[in-house]
Amino acid sequence: MRGRVYLPQDELALAGLSDEDIFAGKVTDKWRNFMKSQIKRARMFFDEAEKGVMELNEQSRWPILDEIEANDYNNFTKRAYVSKTKKLLSLPLAYARSMIPPSRKLSHA
């Protein structure tokens, strides 16, 4: 981390966390709750972004967030990593779906 915290300080404070907690690198319930809210917001932004991007199938959307959750929100000592194999396996279906004209896709609304 090199002595830097790139997290919203006001939201850390609301979650009862400090920079010292981050530097300690412990996955606590406070950290999990903080990360859950950050991931929820990230998914909301990603969902908004998808409205302007050709749709991808569920498995190829933002798999990094799923990996953080699968690691029990421990991004202190575990790397959220999506393997090349997993990425490559999702490409054919994602590409095929991108070729469908927007008027033929199902609405998510």
pLDDT tens for residues 12-26? Answer: 999 999 999 999 999
Long-range contacts of residues 79-87, Cβ cutoff 8 Å, at least 24 apart? 87/63
**Contact 30/16 with Cβ under 8 angstroms?**
yes
Count of beta carbons in the 10 Å neighbourhood of residue 17: 20
pLDDT at 6: 87
pLDDT at 67: 85
- pTM for the whole thing? 0.54
When pLDDT is cut at 50, 70 and 90, the band that residue 83 belongs to is confident
pLDDT at 32: 95
